[in-house]
Amino acid sequence: MSEEYVLQLQHIRKEYPGVIALKDVTLELKKGEILALIGENGAGKSTLIKCCSGAVVPTSGKIVVGGTEFTSMTPQLAAENGIAIIYQEFNNVKELSAAENLFLGRPIRKGIVVDKKAMEKEAAKAFEQLRIKIDPKTLMKNLTVGYQQMIEIAKAIQQDAKILIMDEPSAPLTSAEVESMFRVVERLRKDGISIVYISHRLDEIYRLSDRIVVLRDGEYVKTLITKDSQVQELIQLMVGRELTETYPPRGSCIDKNEVVLELNNVSGNGDMNLKIHKGEIVGLGGLVGAGRTELAEMIFGAVPKQSGKMIFRGREVNPKSPREAIDLGIALVPEDRKRHGAMLGISIKNNINMPIYEKNSTLSVINSKKEMETAEKYQKSMAIKTPTLHQLVKNLSGGNQQKVILGRWLAADSELIIFDEPTRGIDVGAKYEIYKLMNDLVEKEGKAILMISSEMEELIGMSDRIVVLAEGEMTGELKKEEFKQETIMAYASVTRMEEDLTV
Amino acid sequence: MKEKVVYQLKDKAIWVVFIFLVIAFTIANPRFLNANNLLTMLRQVSMYGIASIGMTFVILLGDIDLSTGSIITFVNILCAYLMVNMGMNMILAIIITLIVSTLIGVLNGFMVSTIGIPALIATFATQTAFQGLALILCGGLPINGFTEKFRIIGQGYVGIVPVPVIIMIVCFAVGAFILNKTYFGRYFYAVGGNVEAAKLSGIRVGRIKYLVFSLSGFFAGLAGLVMLSRTNSGMSNAGQGYEFDVITCVVLGGVSVTGGYGMISGVVAGTFVIGALKNGMVLMNINSYVQAIVMGVVLALAVGFDCIQKRKQTT
């Protein structure tokens, strides 16, 4: 039995403090097949391949490579056993040539000097084998992302890899590049190389793979034979969890007559048309890299708008900096709280007052009474748990940090609040509190909210309307009665297969 | 909470070092504790103290200003030239000099903020260029012959307190006021602590950098004027190496070299420690080459302490 498989991951379990990333996942790779590995964001795909590369040590389980059993890998062991991983970020040196990159870390030498000629000759051979046209002398920085990826693949083959694991290989490529990558991958399969292919894009999986392994929330769900499976079924398997979490109820408070934000043909990548009303929570769904954060940053003035019109409260606006956006009444609660949101080394009071300090100063001198009042007011309304407002924000829990940021934007009198993954890294109890605060914002304060979320349940549980993006384009808009995990997933992942989509 | 305690300890620690130094030097040479010597010491450090205000702001932002010494030199020559060679009114010359030194800071701000040159290189370039410009202006020769009144700035007394010490105290007060009471003081901490978050909170980081480098230029200029008055002669090597001592005062005072943390009270202590060290070593007849080694070690220790503290917090 085991001769049939070149790589077997058996009952892999990985625990982190407080989180189980992988629960009893089994994956078996046959010789000369392309095995697709799919699942939503956070399903455990990356952790699983990191177990193969040695970057992650599994808590329990076995890794069997060509009949040899391992309890864990190291990068070196992985290489020795013919496992190569093509990550999304390439491991290359931009200032060196293609040939030198191919032999990076193990150059062909003549005595103590590097033998460039020999390396170039070998490189030419390796490229020829994959039938890719790259001049070995070209500097890496002059090659497109597609070619750089080819060099990564060539490097793996050159190093005698028998098992190639590709993590979202098509994500950074243009469609023409994707085509040539497919050809190379198919050729490798013919040569007997086994490939684990991770992708969000279902059309690619149907085009390339022989079998599909589905993961969900760190668990193994099912293995499918690609040609016998249906898109519908696959989506169902990926998202098919029960909606368990409860969301605080919200009364109807949408004011259809008052459009807070309107985007007309705004393009970052594709054209976007979007309307957000007063008292409405619009969910923005899609997979990582779909362009949601970019859209948020564009509305917030942090990145420039390419074209189109943005109308905010009836006036055409074009904020060129966060400052301008804030003054208009737009706020952003960023995804990476620690890097972009809270100022950790600064007190709660100062964090809350930060956007309004200038307004609250006479001849540059801060009105400290007002400063304290503001901080107290929003500590109360946000229920920030702290003994003192002088507490540094880094000493607060994630949920409380998020509340500080929310308080800051309320203090700045924002009308539109954009939440980028509002509850990432926040524990369940605090999550519920954040949801309640968001409800209060639209219900009691009449704010408008645009909420980016990768959590299906959150998106469905909190939104009045859901807009789905894929690859920088708007692919769908759902009304409350149309909310369904499968539909959202379909819009998010299958942009290139609209024709065979029947959802 | 715990981190706050650590920081408070660290803020106090520098005062402990100061007291330790005072005791040690007094034992080595009782003349150290003499009131006259202490006032001399204060007068000696006044220029560091004045220039350290601007430097504190710059380092709070996580940047550095290497042009301080050169600005001091240039201000020396420029003000002397205006008063002696051009016969300009003293007050006018002082005002022009301060404006020019601030403008040199603006130039630093332009290079760092608008063009994006790392502060280390931008201010290094300014340092070299203005050192050269000073030499051209004076032809390498000292400029002497100021009015009696001009000497008050550096040599005068109010009661028993030297005027430069008063200027230093005022500067410390102004610095503390800016950091604690004004909105841009708050911004310095925000930008130094987390530029990205600061930007997304609506702070125009570019403007803040301009402001900080301009202030650094201004305070360096003021320190230069005090020095010119004290030495009573405009010399082309007046401020050589001053940035080193000023930076040492600031980081010794607990201002984090990576930005975002620091207080004027710490810088005051840091300045005193440097003063005590320099004065004490002279009293003990320590060779000036050895003094340079000591200063280097002190700077490395101060920054090392800061880095270890940081690492403890992150792990």
Give the DSSP per-residue string, B133-161: HHHHHHTTS-EE---TTTHHHHH-EETTE
Identify the band that residue B84 occupies on the pLDDT scale cut at 50, 70 and 90: very high
Taking an 8 Å cut-off on Cβ atoms, the answer to whether A345 and B194 are in contact is yes
Q: Which domains does chain A carry?
A: 5-239 (3.40.50.300), 256-500 (3.40.50.300)
User: What does each of the 503 residues of chain A score in pLDDT, given as a tens digit?
Assistant: 445 789 999 999 988 776 788 999 999 999 999 999 988 777 888 889 889 888 889 999 999 998 889 998 888 888 889 999 998 778 888 899 999 998 888 888 888 888 889 999 999 998 888 888 889 999 998 888 888 888 999 998 888 899 999 988 887 777 778 888 999 999 999 999 999 999 877 888 899 999 999 998 888 999 999 999 888 888 888 877 665 567 888 888 899 899 999 998 887 666 788 999 999 999 999 887 788 888 999 999 998 888 889 999 999 999 999 999 999 999 999 988 888 888 988 999 999 999 999 999 999 999 999 999 999 999 998 888 888 999 999 888 888 899 999 999 999 989 999 999 998 877 767 788 889 999 999 999 899 999 999 888 889 999 999 999 887 888 889 998 899 888 888 888 755 444 443 33
Asked if B202 has any chain A CB less than 8 Å from its own CB, the reply is yes
Taking an 8 Å cut-off on Cβ atoms, the answer to whether B201 and A366 are in contact is no
Q: From start to end of A156-270, where are the E strands?
A: 163-167, 194-198, 211-216, 219-225, 255-267
pTM of the model: 0.79
3-state percent helix, strand, coil for chain A, nearest multiple of 5 = 35, 30, 35
User: In terms of DSSP bridges, do strands A473-479 and A416-420 run parallel, antiparallel, or are they unpaired?
Assistant: unpaired
* Spatial separation of the C-alpha atoms in residues A97 and B121, rounded to whole Å: 30
Asked if residue B78 lies in contact with residue B194, where contact means CB atoms within 8 angstroms, the answer is no
B130 pLDDT more than 90: yes
The residue behind tokens 């204060």 is: B42
Residues 6+ apart with CB under 8 A from B128: B70
Average pLDDT over residues B117-140: 96
Q: Specify burial of residue A3 (Cβ count, 10 A radius: 0-12, 13-18, 19+).
A: exposed
Residues 6+ apart with CB under 8 A from A98: A123, A127, A134, A135, A136, A137, A138, A139, A140, A143, A147, A151
Tell me which chain A residues have a C-beta less than 8 angstroms from the C-beta of B199.
Answer: 302, 322
What's the one-letter identity of residue B260?
A: G
| Bridge partners, A167 (sequence order) | A198
CATH number of the CATH domain containing B235:
1.10.3470
| Bridge partners, A365 (sequence order) | A362, B182
User: In terms of DSSP bridges, do strands A34-38 and A194-198 run parallel, antiparallel, or are they unpaired?
Assistant: parallel
Asked if residue A442 lies in contact with residue A280, where contact means CB atoms within 8 angstroms, the answer is yes
Identify from A343, A372, A410 which residue to disrupt to test chain B contact, counting B C-beta atoms within 10 A and taking the largest count: A343
Asked if B244 has any chain A CB less than 8 Å from its own CB, the reply is no
Residues 6+ apart with CB under 8 A from A289: A171, A471
Could you tell me the two tokens for B313? 């917090």
- Range(s) of the domain holding residue B80: 2-314
- DSSP label at residue B315: -
Tell me how far CA of residue B236 lies from CA of B66, B80, B101, B123, in angstroms: 17, 11, 16, 19
Asked if B5 has any chain A CB less than 8 Å from its own CB, the reply is no
Count: domains in chain B: 1
Taking an 8 Å cut-off on Cβ atoms, the answer to whether A354 and B182 are in contact is no
Taking an 8 Å cut-off on Cβ atoms, the answer to whether B183 and A346 are in contact is no
The helix-helix angle for B205-231 and B163-181 (nearest 10°) equals: 170
Other Cβ atoms within 10 Å of A101 Cβ, number: 26
Asked if B261 has any chain A CB less than 8 Å from its own CB, the reply is yes
- Average pLDDT score over chain B: 92
The residue behind tokens 């900096």 is: A321
Choice between B117 and A90, residue whose per-residue pLDDT is larger: B117
Tens-place pLDDT, residues B264-303:
999 999 999 999 999 999 999 999 999 999 999 998 988 8
* Spatial separation of the C-alpha atoms in residues A225 and A220, rounded to whole Å: 15
Identify from A297, A300, A346, A374 which residue to disrupt to test chain B contact, counting B C-beta atoms within 10 A and taking the largest count: A346
